[in-house]
Amino acid sequence: MNNSGTTTPIQLSSKPTRPAGPSETGTRPNRTACIRTFGCQMNVHDSDRMRRMIRDAGYAEVQSYEDADLVVLNTCYVRENAVDRVRGHLGEINRLKREGRVKRVALTGCIGAASEAEQLERQYNIDLVLGTHNTYELASFVGLPTMEETYTPDLPGTEGDHSAFVTIMTGCNYQCSYCIVPTVRGRMICRPMDNIVSEVERLVESGTKYVTLLGQTVDAWRQDGKRFCDLLERVSEVAPRIWFTTSHPSNMEDRTLKAIGERETIVRRLHLPVQSGSDKMLKAMHRGYKADRYRRKIEVFREHVPDGTLSTDIIVGHPGETAEDHEQTLRLVEDCAFDSAYIFKFSPRKGTEAAELGGVVPDKVVQRRFLQVLRQVEQNAYAQNQRKVGSLEDIYIRHGSTDDGRSIGETWSGHAVHVGTNAKPGEYVEARIASAGPHVLYAEVPRS
């Protein structure tokens, strides 16, 4: 899954629906809660659901721990520094709790499901620890009637917003050497198609303009002989704009790649994690494909979606990675000409196979390889983005304008664009691309 945990924690819904923080008269709303999200889009989605429960229970959302009666940390466990970062936050919250400001703390998400949770619970005096399968238990914790759920995707997510995530499957049946996800999220459970489609219909009726289908390996979704592409096609008839993430190369069917090019409502952007360009490393990682098979998938994508964007995940410094393996990754990056990539330095996760492997790559070498891959990706991305300069684009506004009057939007080809407009999130503007950097395009001011 495309993980943003390498940067600062994601703070979605930063605008509370009710007055946040100390009110103008200086008093605090009756009950306040602060939710902080770390990690991938699955977590962002889980946070949305918890946010809804908290609102339903009468809490006003606030942005800082100091203003909160209840703090929820929804955590990520993918890399070691994720735990360190959460410890930092827990220390600060615990101090506020001792001072009587914060009343209760909940730790949720992937760390909540891991064995370290017990120790954190004791050390930081945490009131509630939840894994990823029992998020719904937060309901009774905040005073709502208990929800009887078999698995969390059926909990309502964000409705009424311009864009929404819809979880189509949870867990993962792969056993990648380095990955903790199967341990904390369990085996794959696919949500029934009718259930998904009715949620999308409800969302669209309530004003959602953009639906993202979500799962650790979305393209592995199946039900009674139906496969992911059947679901994608169905949803593409219901939603005005859709995207999906994350996919696994072993499940990616050519007909899905064709559908991306053919169906007007599907954003022409593919996130397909490759992890390495070396067959030896792919084998050690148990990825289940060779580099050339991945290349062929990309050829099919480029053939059917010539103006589409392609992104990937790459791990550098997996145990046993030699200079030659690294060279092969650089070659693959060049051949596939990714438009962007999430590059991760290998991080040993306790309980995974790779954490026990010999052939540890020294930090300095990992750092050098990391920068080389990054440079290669950026060079390609920059050259490709230049080709968009001059084109007239239909831009979907994702985030409203900032102080400098720029909004962030997305083209149908999946490019991120900065555009000067007052259009609201969920609206479209037509504008010409004036220039491009390695990560983003810049549009002229739209005429209308």
Name the residues that contact ligand SF4, by CB under 6 A: 172, 174, 176, 179, 181-182, 216-217, 248
CB 258 within 8 A of CB 14: no
> What would the two tokens of residue 187 be?
């085996």
What is the residue type of 13? S
CB atoms within 10 A of CB 428: 16
Annotate each residue in 3-32 with x if it binds ligand 5AD (CB under 6 A) or - if it does not, as one string: x-----------------------------
One residue of 250, 347, 386, 391 binding ligand 5AD per CB under 6 A: 347
Cα maximum dimension of the chain? 65
Q: What is the C-alpha separation between 159 and 205, in angstroms, rounded? A: 9
Which C-beta is closer to ligand SF4: that of 112 or that of 249? 249
Q: Least distance in Å: CB of 78 to ligand SF4?
A: 8
Number of H helices, E strands in the chain: 12, 20
Least distance (Å) between residue 229 CB and ligand 5AD: 22
163-167 and 70-75 strand pairing: unpaired
Residue 78 interacts with which of ligand SF4, ligand 5AD, none, CB < 5 to 8 Å by class: ligand 5AD
- At 156, which amino acid appears? P
* Residue span binding ligand 5AD (CB under 6 A) among the ranges 131-139, 190-198, 340-348, 400-408: 340-348
Give the residue, chosen from 37, 75, 275, 278, that forms a contact with ligand 5AD under the rule CB under 6 A.
275
Residue count (the chain): 448
Return the number of the residue (171 or 273) whose C-beta is nearest ligand 5AD.
273
Peptide bond just before 208 cis, omega within 30 deg = no
Q: Does 78 bind ligand 5AD (CB under 6 A)?
A: yes
Nearer to ligand 5AD, 370 or 396 (CB): 370
Q: Does 344 bind ligand 5AD (CB under 6 A)?
A: yes
Which of ligand 5AD, ligand SF4, none lies near 20, with the C-beta cut-off 5 to 8 A by kind? none
* Phi (first) and psi of residue 255, to 5 degrees: -70, -25
Q: Does 411 bind ligand 5AD (CB under 6 A)?
A: no
Interacting positions 161-200 with ligand 5AD (CB under 6 A): 178-179
| Contact in structure between 46 and 109 (CB atoms under 8 Å) | yes
CA neighbor of 288 nearest in space, from 217, 231, 366:
217
Q: How far is the CB of 276 from ligand SF4 (least distance, A)?
A: 12
Q: Which residues of 402-415 are buried (b: 16+ CB within 10 A; e: fewer)?
A: eeeebbbbbbbbbb
Instruction: Please report how close the Cβ of residue 74 comes to ligand SF4 at its closest, in angstroms.
Output: 18
- CA-CA distance, 298 to 316, in Å (whole number)? 21
Q: Answer for the pair 415, 268: CB distance below 8 angstroms, yes or no.
A: no
Q: Return the one option of ligand 5AD, ligand SF4, none that residue 346 interacts with (CB less than 5 to 8 A, by type).
A: ligand 5AD
Q: Do 346 and 315 form a contact (C-beta atoms < 8 A)?
A: yes
Q: Binds 68, which of ligand SF4, ligand 5AD, none (CB < 5 to 8 A, cut-off by type)?
A: none
Element holding 433 (H helix, E strand): strand 428-436
When the beta carbons of 51 and 248 are compared against ligand SF4, the nearer one is 248
Least distance to ligand SF4 from the beta carbon of 169, Å?
A: 11
Task: Report d(CA 40, CA 268) in Å as an integer.
Answer: 21
Annotate each residue in 279-318 with x if it binds ligand 5AD (CB under 6 A) or - if it does not, as one string.
----------------------------------x-x---
With CB under 5 to 8 Å by kind, the binding choice for 349 among ligand 5AD, ligand SF4, none is: ligand 5AD
With CB under 5 to 8 Å by kind, the binding choice for 43 among ligand SF4, ligand 5AD, none is none
1 lies in the binding site for ligand 5AD (CB under 6 A): yes
Cβ at position 440, least distance to ligand 5AD in Å: 22
Rounded CA separation 428/324 (Å): 47
Residues 6+ apart with CB under 8 A from 362: none
Residue in 97, 133, 185, 349 binding ligand 5AD, rule: CB under 6 A: 349
Q: Count the Cβ atoms, other than its own, within 10 Å of residue 188.
A: 18
**Secondary structure class of 324 (helix, strand, coil):** helix
User: Which residues are near ligand 5AD by CB under 6 A?
Assistant: 1, 3, 78-79, 178-179, 273, 275, 313, 315, 344, 346-347, 349
